[in-house]
Structure 1
Amino acid sequence: MTEQPDVDALVLDLRMVDGHLLDSIGGKAANLGELMRAGLAVPPGFCVTTTAYARATADADLVAVATVLARLDPADTAGVAEHAARAREVVLAAGMPDQVAEAVSAAYEALPEGPDVAVAVRSSATAEDLPTASFAGQQDTFLNVVGTPAVLEAVRRCWASLWTDRAVAYRQVNGIDHTAVRLAVVVQRMVDATVAGVLFTADPVSGARQHAVIEATPGLGEAVVSGTVNPDRFVVDTDRGTVVHRALGDKRHVVRSRPGGGTAHITLPAADTVACLDDQQACRLARLGLQVQDHFGAPQDIEWALDRFGQAWLVQSRPITTLFPVPVARSRDGSTLRLFFCMSLAQGLHRPLTPMGLSAFNLLGAAVGDIAGLHTADPVQGPVAVTPAADRLFLDVTALVRHPVGRRVFPRVLDVMEARSAVALRSALEDPRLPPRRGGRLRFAARLGRVMVRFRMPVVAAQAGLRPSSAQRRAGRLEAAARRRRGLGERASASERLEWVIRHLEGQVVPPLPAIAPAAAAGFAMFELARHLLGQDARPGDVQTVLRGLPHNVTTEMDLSLWDVAAATRLEESAATTVRDGEVADLDSAFRAGTLPPVVQRGLESFLERYGARAVAEIDLGMPRWRDDPGHLLVVLANYLRLPDGAPDPHAGFLRARREAEAMVDTLSRRAGRRGRLRGATVAFALRRARELAGLREMPKFLLVLGLAPARAELLRVGEHLASTGRLAAAEDVFFLDLTDVRAALDGADFREVVRRRRGTYDLELGRRRVPRLLWSDGTEPEQEPPPSADGRLRGTPASPGAVTARARIVQDPSHAHLEPGEILVAPSTDPGWTPLFLTAGGLVMEMGGANSHGAVVAREYGIPAVVGVPDATSRLTTGARVHVDGTHGVVTPE
């Protein structure tokens, strides 16, 4: 039986440790211990635990320093550096307790090869080399340390390096509590390396999982890690076991061990033109890397060294945290390479989905499959083409784009839905590994015909084209029917509620959507007909102007309703002051208690009666609805009330946009009429029908959201039951389970620890800035980022015509965003929860979207210039900087 290590020990042999002791030994030591236990070659050594660090710093006033740091803005680099230096001073001044010094000395002197063996002394923080954050290079390392006094001093300096400027700044930026991180120290026998370097088991730039990347240099690997050398670089195809690329560096800078301790940095007079590894060695290192990757279950960033006997030693391994996880393919159609499309991103949702939100989409996806005549074996598990990665929803589109019809239609759909995805998809379709299949057109036509007949789609579209009022009445009936759907009564059991949720999501939410979607589609078909007939008669931006101020759009009606609450509140100074100057938490409590000023209380209650099922990221069942948490609305109301007297009235702006659109219809029909009276009449008819019907584009999503609301309410009741029985910590934690988990919890399983881990992962995913639109199953992305324009201009898709110059405001999350009147809203993406901000925006720039994406449609209706699909807009533009937005030509110019 393996001896269990003492978690309170001051020193632990690396052979005794693993990931279960993370709090005692830190990430670096834990990973090295895991490698040793896996039988891989790791130099012998020991770990000075966090218990030793705690004893050494017990009397140092680090909490006071950390408290001051926590109040500093991460951008205050001078302040951060000053207090970090103070922390290092108190750590070094504290010295090393005798008991700790004795334990370290005994462990060092017991190492193989004698009492004065050369060792590497490395920091190992508890928030380091983890699957979610590497913290690479934030603390110090000391190489070729010889003798007990030198080892003790190196340990003390490692402790102090927990407070280096770079480590403190890293924690500040990532929101990590300084007092929650502790330091252990790894002491290992030094490898007198002839060649050393780093090995990535997947390409950290392209993401290719089958490509191992090796950087190597003569001497110690410190030269590669520190970036002081131009190393040799090898790319190994691990599937074939061959070197597919090599590039020799000059290797003029070499780090070698000094006799007696320390290192020497040597600059060679001329470049070394001989590779420091041959292909056989590179492939052997790549195979070793795969062993490490297989052990940890994720691609690894490895530091290695070859000794004079050619033995490869592993001296560090950490996850490559920058790689986007590859979705797990569930479909099986014989394709060796699969292509995944991010569905949640295409819906304007950049943030992650909760586990329950992902689980709900499985059932909704099964319902969509049923409509299309595609049976799902287990609706709770969802269609095999739907799979999550990084808490985002991906669709395996391999079979779709290999089908001759899908290959033609899907890119065209993306042209209007998400233009940059369309460009990336067309690039992917050129890959010879994704050949089109033969045949299938007749089967597709038969399936489409059955769906169209089942839901009377041609009839609905024709009726809408002939009498738009029929489509509007149908939308009203569908909304009323969705509101009538309620959950179970008070006496229902938690199990009954869960089964009702499953039946409701599978059978009630999706089927109403085909009853209204053809009407909106008819509107856009009319729009495209007019565009085609106009040809060169329409100048840039003219046709898009027709879609301004559209009637019958539930989202713009919602925004204007909220503005009306603010306008009514503004008429009563005391009420306006209460909302404008109050704390959100206090206003929220007052609203729930019914004690807000009556004009606000009644106005907000009336607003929530119709729109309370909406939310930011509303397609995620796990997100609180506005009726559950009206805090966001109260922030928006306060922002409206801070506008100066005489600020533009959105109603007037909407009316002006409508008049401009109607005038443009007349103008375009006259131009078309010059080429024939029938052409002019057809253009006028088509554009007027487009205006009557295109606003219904938002209704299917609104119906979906109304359908999610009772399911969320019932699940919350289930969560209350599980919390009362101790299987969850709080009722809201039910949304960090999936439906299968909830069944297991109702059967008695305790999910509190599972929820804690998932919340941690979700919080980290909230900080992820890049999510791929399309992703190959080998980890690479088809999308090629356009090179920066030589003149600094950013290009995207023109979405709403017009031009404006104003200050930019970068907004990642609208929940507590403040937008000054006329500012340019710059966002990764938007959904209806963002649109109250549009009322005061002077323009819109989005990283996602196409000409008919949600944000583009609403921007046009309000008449604000918009450019969408702008690569990295939120990082390339800065808050406060003036930018010129040309929504007619799709250009954003920083000034």
Structure 2
Amino acid sequence: MLPEVGGKAANLGELASAGLPVPPGFCLTTAAYRHALSAAGLEEVFTALSAVSASELEQLNRHATRARSLVLDAAMPHDVVQAVRAAYLALGDNVPVAVRSSATAEDLPFASFAGQQDTFLNVVGVDSVLDAVKRCWASLWTDRAVSYRTSTGIDHDSVALAVVVQEMVDSSVAGVMFTANPVTGKRHEVVIDASPGLGEAVVSGAVNPDHYVVDSHRGAILETTLGDRQVEIRPLPGGGTERVELSSRDRSGDASPQPCLTDQQIQALAKLGRRVEDHYGAPQDTEWAIDDAGKLWLTQARPITTLYPQTTRNPPLPGDHAFLNFSLAQGLTRPLTPMGLAGIRLVASCVAKAAAFNVPDPRSGPPPYYEAGQRIFFDFTAVLRSRIGRVIVPRVFDVMEARSATVMRGLFDDPRFSVTIKTPFKLIRHVAPVAAKYRVPESLLRGLFRPAAAMKSVERVNADLRTTFMVPGQATAHQRIAHVQRILGTEVFATVPQILPLPALGFAMLALVKRLLGEQASYDELQTVIRGLPNNVTTEMDLALWHLASDIRHDPDAVASMAGQTAAELADRYRDGTLPPVAQSALKAFLRIYGHRAVAEIDLGMPRWSDDPTHILGVVANYLRLEPGAETPEQQFAKAAREADEQIARLVARARGKSPLHAAMVRTALDRTRRFAGLRELPKYNLVLGLAAVREQLLLVGSELAASQRIDQPEDIFFLSLDDIEAALAGDALHKVIAERRAAYHQELRRRHIPRVLLSDGTEPEATAGAHGKLRPGTLSGSPASAGLVTAPARVIMDPVGAHLEPGEILVAPSTDPGWTPLFLTAGGLVMEMGGPNSHGAVVAREYGIPAVVGVPDATTRIKSGQHITVDGAAGTVSTVDPDGLAD
């Protein structure tokens, strides 16, 4: 009944129908709101608001003020007045009531509108009730409500307001209760805030309440923290409320203040909260009150929208489990489309089968594979319980996504994950088959002793992979799906064990030099060695894009023709073939080689650059704004390579001071580092080539399904799974399924907080006390990624597509993948929330010689665009001149 009665009333009706204790009352439906305001002139406000963005607060507030005036000035229809009068009198003679707003866009599963509209307490008399009803209607148009709807993408003309009128609970104590811990995510903890008097004191934040945490499984009270109780809100005789400031004597009555709830009341509340949660099937944010007779009442329930979803299937074994967010480890904060997840499940199953794991259904993913919030998670409980796993895996993440490594180590002392696997035999049993099948030891030895032959082997692997990704042009739809399953489930993983051992050898050789030279080789000096690396496909791509811009810059007529146009307009011109000839041909050549790449490119559902070159043209436009005479990326790259060669010579000279053997070993080791470290990007590059081939086949199948009207458009196929596609090919129409999944996907795109690790009880270990540690005022701390010091304005960018980055600005991003790196060429520095010293963004930043700090918690929310910050890439810090300059 949400359209008729709004979120609050619908939830109260649910609670009452479930036999839960809800105060009696009635609801004035949205039909009354629309009837009363049909001639008020709100249509003009709707039209005006549709042209205003969430950032234009002044205009939003002006339109909101206009809407409130129209509502308050409108006459209350006679039939509405009579209906309210009759319903109120049926409650009794001048019964004190609460008059509460209930909007249709309120208390939804994806957005909590708590506090957006108004509530009026202790209203007495029918005239007062009618006045409160009108003021509730007007509160649909408060500044905060209008701004919130705009920011969440809800159309203003689609919302309406119902009004709930309930008997007041003359409460001795009241408050709020969360049936799951909203801070840590623990699903078995009930959190209660309570204060004497009306619950408005707690809900509005006017008081520091008593705080209780209860283990709902055991009924044990885990935590009791007494509030200061400086304020109490009380009903007044005859209507209205008063805010009473209490003295210390009023608050305590003696030297030992007592909790405002007894243990029995706390446990009764927790039990009631579980009943509410069981009814809805999801954790709830409730409001409650206890009257003078000790009776417990529920006055509200709504979903806890801030909790991160739990994994989509239960752990295969009983007990506690820990799940690692693999999406974040890949630098991906956004959700994946359903087909993107389906593709990853097949690839993960291929990896697991190669490692001798049992995979009953490859389309469902291997047993350790999970999904939560449309992102990829892996159960790494076995890692935590393995002695060798604790040594190896966190060290890998130290250089891949450092903050995840910190969270992992924080679980080592948790008794639920104590070490039970003390030998390496289980690991060897799963690694050995992969190493044997793909001749990993042979690759390592070839790289060490015959490096030229190793590079030729890489070239053969690349050529062979491209052949395996090919699909016959005349294949049927069913054959195309079979090829999709073959590429993802068999072929694409081969690039990893065939190529990755060489860059691993390169970085191992760098570590060997550190061991050989000790204090004679500093961290910064070794980082210089891996700047300007050859054989890096991402660097080559970025330089090719710079060449594209350079070609255009040399044609003044082309520059003039493209000036002042948006990236989207330029993309339309490219599709029409009307860009200046130099730009048209250069972009076509670039996309012929790199068009398979994309932002968030591990997701099959994301358009490739060849599908939509808007992002690339936006980057080119950024390059064209650079002033002539600035050092070009090519010059920067060549300079970095020279500095690396000079540093190698110095390190070899120091080694010679120890012995000729030391010198030979250091020279050979650093040669292998320079040859092979840049190859770290190649396995993913090849993986994305395979994904692009798969995407092309899926779009062909999508076109066939769209032509037969089973789906609306070819791109809809990315909101299906392979099983869904086969059902559609058999005749099923899937329009409704696709619409629901698109809505869920776009809802998940709004989520800003993404946990690195989840436990099976919903706990986010990073959110528990002490996860972040103390930071100096005005300073954020992360992992050093690229040495150097730069002070410049920050530019916070959440999505590189269409992003505007002025030359020299410091790029602040949640994470980066190759789709972001063209921005690096003009960035003065880099700050990332995710990543480690050897994550993709860190490597590219070093190669371009820009200071970078990665793994900085909450960087995109604590740093603001335009704010001057200092990035110290060696110390791993980001600071402001003003100690209070970073947002809390």
What range describes the TM-score normalised by the shorter chain of this pair?
A: over 0.9
Aligned: 1:39 with 2:19? yes
User: Counterparts of 1:36 and 1:744 in 2: how far apart (Å)?
Assistant: 41
| Cross-structure match for 1:819 | 805
What is the Cα deviation at residue 192 of structure 1? 2.1
User: Counterparts of 1:580 and 1:632 in 2: how far apart (Å)?
Assistant: 16
What is the Cα deviation at residue 755 of structure 1? 2.3
State which of 755, 779, 783 in structure 2 corresponds to 1:772: 755
What is the Cα deviation at residue 483 of structure 1? 3.0
Structure-2 change in CA distance of 1:37 and 1:864 (3 Å) = same
State which of 472, 483, 489 in structure 2 corresponds to 1:506: 489
AA aligned to 1:853 is S
| Cross-structure match for 2:28 | 48
State which of 200, 206, 214 in structure 2 corresponds to 1:222: 200
What is the Cα deviation at residue 232 of structure 1? 1.8
What is the Cα deviation at residue 700 of structure 1? 0.4
Does the CA-based 8 Å contact 1:145-1:151 persist in structure 2? yes
Aligned: 1:854 with 2:840? yes
| Cross-structure match for 2:67 | 87
Report the aligned-residue RMSD: 1.9
User: Counterparts of 1:630 and 1:484 in 2: how far apart (Å)?
Assistant: 26
| Cross-structure match for 1:3 | none
Does the CA-based 8 Å contact 2:320-2:416 persist in structure 1? yes
Aligned: 1:257 with 2:243? no
Q: What aligned pairs does 1:135-174 form with structure 2 within 5 A after superposition?
A: 135-174=113-152
Secondary structure at the residue paired with 1:184? strand
What is the Cα deviation at residue 779 of structure 1? 2.1
What is the Cα deviation at residue 317 of structure 1? 0.6
What is the Cα deviation at residue 57 of structure 1? 1.9
Does the CA-based 8 Å contact 1:465-1:523 persist in structure 2? no
Q: TM-score by structure 1 length?
A: 0.94
Does the CA-based 8 Å contact 2:567-2:621 persist in structure 1? no
Instruction: Out of 512-521 and 489-498, give the one that drifted further.
Output: 489-498
User: Counterparts of 1:85 and 1:632 in 2: how far apart (Å)?
Assistant: 39
Secondary structure at the residue paired with 2:274? helix
State which of 357, 363, 376 in structure 2 corresponds to 1:374: 357
AA aligned to 1:204 is P
Aligned: 1:804 with 2:804? no
User: Counterparts of 1:527 and 1:700 in 2: how far apart (Å)?
Assistant: 21
State which of 658, 669, 672 in structure 2 corresponds to 1:689: 672
Q: What aligned pairs does 1:161-200 form with structure 2 within 5 A after superposition?
A: 161-200=139-178
For structure 2, the 5+ residue unaligned runs are 882-888
What is the Cα deviation at residue 812 of structure 1? 0.7
Does the CA-based 8 Å contact 1:877-1:894 persist in structure 2? no
Secondary structure at the residue paired with 1:123? strand
Deviation track 1:372-425 (CA, whole Å, cap 9, x = no partner) reads 111210000001211111111111111222123222211111111111111111
Aligned: 1:128 with 2:106? yes
| Cross-structure match for 2:653 | 670
State which of 310, 314, 317 in structure 1 corresponds to 2:294: 310
AA aligned to 1:47 is C
Does the CA-based 8 Å contact 1:804-1:842 persist in structure 2? yes
AA aligned to 2:310 is V
Structure-2 change in CA distance of 1:363 and 1:878 (3 Å) = same
Aligned: 1:292 with 2:272? no
| Cross-structure match for 1:761 | 744
State which of 76, 81, 85 in structure 2 corresponds to 1:105: 85
User: Counterparts of 1:439 and 1:276 in 2: how far apart (Å)?
Assistant: 50
Structure-2 change in CA distance of 1:490 and 1:704 (3 Å) = closer
What is the Cα deviation at residue 742 of structure 1? 2.5
| Cross-structure match for 1:716 | 699
User: Counterparts of 1:486 and 1:409 in 2: how far apart (Å)?
Assistant: 33
Q: What aligned pairs does 1:541-580 form with structure 2 within 5 A after superposition?
A: 541-580=524-563
AA aligned to 2:815 is S
Secondary structure at the residue paired with 1:160? helix
What is the Cα deviation at residue 482 of structure 1? 3.2
| Cross-structure match for 2:826 | 840
Q: TM-score by structure 2 length?
A: 0.95
Point out 4+ residue stretches in structure 1 off by more than 6 angstroms: none
What is the Cα deviation at residue 205 of structure 1? 1.5
Deviation track 1:525-545 (CA, whole Å, cap 9, x = no partner) reads 111111221210123411001
Secondary structure at the residue paired with 2:121? strand
Does the CA-based 8 Å contact 2:188-2:215 persist in structure 1? yes
Deviation track 1:295-352 (CA, whole Å, cap 9, x = no partner) reads 2222111001122332222111111111112224544344x21111000101111111
AA aligned to 1:729 is D
| Cross-structure match for 1:17 | none
Q: What aligned pairs does 1:274-289 form with structure 2 within 5 A after superposition?
A: 274-289=258-273
Deviation track 1:30-77 (CA, whole Å, cap 9, x = no partner) reads 211222222212222222222221222222232333444454554554
| Cross-structure match for 1:236 | 214
User: Counterparts of 2:113 and 2:7 in 1: how far apart (Å)?
Assistant: 10
Q: What aligned pairs does 1:480-879 form with structure 2 within 5 A after superposition?
A: 480-485=463-468, 488-489=471-472, 491-783=474-766, 784-787=770-773, 789-879=775-865
| Cross-structure match for 1:337 | 320
User: Counterparts of 1:722 and 1:310 in 2: how far apart (Å)?
Assistant: 63
AA aligned to 1:482 is L
Secondary structure at the residue paired with 1:510? helix
Aligned: 1:425 with 2:405? no
Deviation track 1:688-738 (CA, whole Å, cap 9, x = no partner) reads 210110000000000100011121112122222333333323221211222
User: Counterparts of 2:52 and 2:425 in 1: how far apart (Å)?
Assistant: 66
Instruction: Out of 869-878 and 473-482, give the one that drifted further.
Output: 473-482
Structure-2 change in CA distance of 1:328 and 1:398 (3 Å) = farther
Secondary structure at the residue paired with 1:511? helix
AA aligned to 2:164 is V
Instruction: Out of 231-240 and 480-489, give the one that drifted further.
Output: 480-489
Does the CA-based 8 Å contact 1:366-1:375 persist in structure 2? no
Does the CA-based 8 Å contact 1:338-1:776 persist in structure 2? yes
Structure-2 change in CA distance of 1:745 and 1:256 (3 Å) = farther
User: Counterparts of 2:735 and 2:168 in 1: how far apart (Å)?
Assistant: 43
Structure-2 change in CA distance of 1:202 and 1:419 (3 Å) = same
What is the Cα deviation at residue 251 of structure 1? 2.6
User: Counterparts of 1:892 and 1:250 in 2: how far apart (Å)?
Assistant: 37
| Cross-structure match for 1:325 | 309
| Cross-structure match for 2:884 | none
| Cross-structure match for 1:365 | 348
| Cross-structure match for 2:886 | none
User: Counterparts of 1:749 and 1:603 in 2: how far apart (Å)?
Assistant: 44
State which of 330, 336, 339 in structure 2 corresponds to 1:347: 330
Task: State the identity as a percent.
Answer: 53
Q: How many residue pairs align between the two structures?
A: 872
Structure-2 change in CA distance of 1:25 and 1:477 (3 Å) = farther
Instruction: Out of 468-477 and 424-433, give the one that drifted further.
Output: 468-477
Instruction: Out of 809-818 and 486-495, give the one that drifted further.
Output: 486-495
Secondary structure at the residue paired with 1:860? helix
Instruction: Out of 823-832 and 590-599, give the one that drifted further.
Output: 590-599
For structure 1, the 5+ residue unaligned runs are 1-20
What is the Cα deviation at residue 634 of structure 1? 1.0
What is the Cα deviation at residue 576 of structure 1? 1.8
Does the CA-based 8 Å contact 1:785-1:871 persist in structure 2? no
What is the Cα deviation at residue 135 of structure 1? 1.1
User: Counterparts of 1:840 and 1:482 in 2: how far apart (Å)?
Assistant: 34
Deviation track 1:767-805 (CA, whole Å, cap 9, x = no partner) reads 322211112222222224434533422221111122222
Secondary structure at the residue paired with 1:814? coil
